[in-house]
Chains A and B, each alone.
Chain A
């Protein structure tokens, strides 16, 4: 008998059908990868197993865990299971921990509740498991609070809580999506070691095929609440029998066709469009004494680079390396503490807001979060037309609509979309609106801060195509900020690797990523999930 058996699971919330005929089994010590795009029902499947569904949800079918019928189990029995035999790791380590309790308390809490152990014994067990997940007590005492830890360390605490009682099944719902690639690799390694060590079953939910290919023994691919295909990971992903599997695999390795490589190089002698000279940005540090001035924190430390018209450059690095701070300074949303930023010869970093206005037209921005980058109360016409404020002559209402319609057309949307509100669009469409807003003034430089990392793979491929196409047709130069090397490889000519506020390596994208020289770049490249590599390794293991 399998550890977890889901048969014919059907889930409805109100009148909406969420899951249809889900079949899934997990054996002891097996890693099952559950893959699908947002809204495919991955998380709902996991929540059904935990019986943490919303009130109005009705589940039918059979879910058996270790011989227990979960769907008919009373709440008291589920409380015994949750956190004891079934552990769960959530996506967002920021919100999965209680900010007012120490990590020791939070790990010990479950132990005491499930085993009735006294405080001292529970803390002893907590100490052991925290040590196991890489937070030894000497460096991370139990009295630490979550805010004193980094994102990766917090996720380790969450894993410690989930694994403290040696569960038989661990459910990890996008456990590394909020982390950068290096941390992602560390957390995945930890999960794999725990599975091997304890013969746990692991249900790994992810939208990233490369991560799943690397981790999972078997894979289940979901779409619209239904299982499309399931089977042994390497075979399923290399044979790609099901059309949707092929579509997903291709989208996650998609490289847009680009024509401009040559022209960008041909204008190498022209003066640079953007030049960043020895830029420094200090933030006030934490005050340690009332009288002493706090030592500043240097987020960006002497960065210099230049970017030519029409060139596409990636700025990659781990989270917290200063890449977003640098981007804001390039956009003149933040001022450097030292150094100069020149756009088209003008030193924008020294100009006041009024003097900046004509220069702002030449640079625009696309943000990561397609939900947060629009005022929810404005219609698309107003959102996309916002930068028209920068034109010297105010366009008339008709001209304005015309320009918005043009910009929407450029990004593949309909002119009639301008009378809708942003919530009426999907994530990918919103990112198109975001791009339309960025190009409406025909800027020469677009700074894109993780523009595709919140998107599903198939939508990501389309948006990358759009970026490449706009670069070809309009000659827009890009500064692409990303932690995803696949994106950098797909869309940029050159790459700069940033580490702790400095640029430690730069060069042509392919060369740097294939043959990294600096330690920071090597670490990034080694940690980046790669579907081809993972599949090659798996197939080689099987011989």
Chain B
């Protein structure tokens, strides 16, 4: 008796929701990510205090009812700063992932479809980009072109390109010899059309999972750049910069470092859980074993 090959089956929305509830890491990751995103959205219309408003008299206050997370060395409300800072982190990471996917996925698909020297050249170029230490190079790029959120986005985005190119190429290569792709070729469809109709939908899930992981890495990278003063510039609050400001006052006011640090950790953790959960949900092999 032959086993039925495992195939990704299209599933209705209801089945998807049921699966999501059965998958704990997806559920937890999704809730955390949704909360962070909601926090960023709320910060556009409302924050407890104005983050540009300095009240020197209230500087470095501890936790209190008025300032649940305390205040910083200029007397700004830390909760408000974290809320506004999440905007920046999410925007930078999101656009960086977008750049990575937007350039990397077509490159990877092209390499897989064409093969031969184009594939070889693209992948060796990829290897070269991989060989640069990503964060250090991002530091270099922002140092040359000047600090700021836009340059941080570009610097982080560039190093996402080879990641997505590689994942897309690997996925696409395993699909090209499939019989349904051969049948499409026998139907006279060109490589571009086959890539859009048959390859992309079938590698979308692995790209999505990689996307969440790169998103988490993007948040970390952005925090690193702003910590070095190369990301978002003051008065725009950012988590990395808050950590930098906190480090000389660690002994006096540890809450200055703890809350932005926790924000980074929880966001990254949530995204990683989301990615793990998505992978389990979208991989039909793992799904059957449940």
Name A's B-contacting residues (CB within 8 A): 36, 38-40, 42-43, 91, 173-174, 177, 205, 207, 328, 331, 333, 353, 356-357, 360-361, 363-365, 367-369, 371-377, 383, 386-387, 389-390, 421, 423, 434, 437, 454
> In chain A, what residue has the closest Cβ to B4?
A371
**Please, which residues of chain B bring their CB within 8 A of the CB of A374?**
180
CA of A386 to CA of B193 in the docked complex: distance in angstroms?
12
22 A-B pairs within 8 Å (CB atoms) are namely A40-B1, A333-B182, A333-B185, A353-B190, A357-B188, A363-B186, A365-B186, A367-B183, A369-B179, A372-B180, A375-B197, A376-B7, A377-B8, A377-B201, A383-B180, A386-B187, A387-B186, A387-B187, A389-B187, A389-B188, A423-B9, A454-B2
A375 and B180 contact, Cβ closer than 8 Å, known pairs A331-B186, A421-B10, A423-B7: yes
CA of A91 to CA of B4 in the docked complex: distance in angstroms?
14
**Please, which residues of chain A bring their CB within 8 A of the CB of B198?**
375
Cβ–Cβ contact B188 & A365, under 8 A:
no
**Please, which residues of chain B bring their CB within 8 A of the CB of A36?**
1
B189 at the interface (CB under 8 A from A): yes
**Please, which residues of chain B bring their CB within 8 A of the CB of A365?**
182-183, 186
What 6 A-B pairs have minimum CB-CB distances, sorted nearest first? A373-B179, A387-B187, A367-B179, A360-B188, A43-B1, A376-B7
Cβ–Cβ contact B186 & A174, under 8 A:
no
11 more A-B contacts (CB under 8 A) besides A357-B188, A376-B8? A39-B1, A177-B2, A328-B182, A365-B182, A365-B186, A367-B179, A371-B4, A373-B180, A389-B189, A390-B187, A437-B183
CA of A177 to CA of B188 in the docked complex: distance in angstroms?
33
Cβ–Cβ contact B182 & A42, under 8 A:
no
Cβ–Cβ contact B179 & A372, under 8 A:
yes
**Please, which residues of chain A bring their CB within 8 A of the CB of B188?**
353, 356-357, 360-361, 387, 389-390
**Please, which residues of chain B bring their CB within 8 A of the CB of A371?**
4-5, 7
**Please, which residues of chain B bring their CB within 8 A of the CB of A38?**
1-2
**Please, which residues of chain A bring their CB within 8 A of the CB of B202?**
375-377
Cβ–Cβ contact B182 & A367, under 8 A:
yes
**Please, which residues of chain A bring their CB within 8 A of the CB of B8?**
376-377
B14 at the interface (CB under 8 A from A): no
A403 to chain B, nearest CB (A): 14
Q: Most A CB atoms within 10 A — which of B2, B8, B10, B202?
A: B2
Name B's A-contacting residues (CB within 8 A): 1-2, 4-5, 7-10, 178-180, 182-190, 193, 197-198, 201-202
B1 to chain A, nearest CB (A): 4
> In chain B, what residue has the closest Cβ to A369?
B179
Query: How many residue pairs, one in A and one in B, have C-beta atoms under 8 Å apart?
Result: 85
A379 to chain B, nearest CB (A): 9
A372 and B178 contact, Cβ closer than 8 Å, known pairs A377-B202, A386-B184, A421-B10: yes
Cβ–Cβ contact B9 & A376, under 8 A:
yes
A91 and B2 contact, Cβ closer than 8 Å, known pairs A353-B190, A376-B8, A389-B187: yes
> In chain A, what residue has the closest Cβ to B193?
A389
A365 to chain B, nearest CB (A): 5
CA of A38 to CA of B2 in the docked complex: distance in angstroms?
7
**Please, which residues of chain A bring their CB within 8 A of the CB of B4?**
371
> In chain B, what residue has the closest Cβ to A363?
B186
B176 to chain A, nearest CB (A): 11
A205 and B1 contact, Cβ closer than 8 Å, known pairs A377-B10, A390-B188, A423-B9: yes
> In chain B, what residue has the closest Cβ to A36?
B1
A162 to chain B, nearest CB (A): 18
B94 to chain A, nearest CB (A): 26
A201 to chain B, nearest CB (A): 20
A375 and B5 contact, Cβ closer than 8 Å, known pairs A331-B186, A365-B183, A367-B182: no
B43 to chain A, nearest CB (A): 38
CA of A174 to CA of B1 in the docked complex: distance in angstroms?
7
CA of A390 to CA of B187 in the docked complex: distance in angstroms?
6
> In chain B, what residue has the closest Cβ to A421?
B10
**Please, which residues of chain B bring their CB within 8 A of the CB of A42?**
1
B243 to chain A, nearest CB (A): 44
CA of A421 to CA of B8 in the docked complex: distance in angstroms?
11
CA of A383 to CA of B5 in the docked complex: distance in angstroms?
19
B181 to chain A, nearest CB (A): 8
**Please, which residues of chain A bring their CB within 8 A of the CB of B193?**
389
B34 to chain A, nearest CB (A): 27
**Please, which residues of chain B bring their CB within 8 A of the CB of A357?**
188
> In chain B, what residue has the closest Cβ to A173?
B1
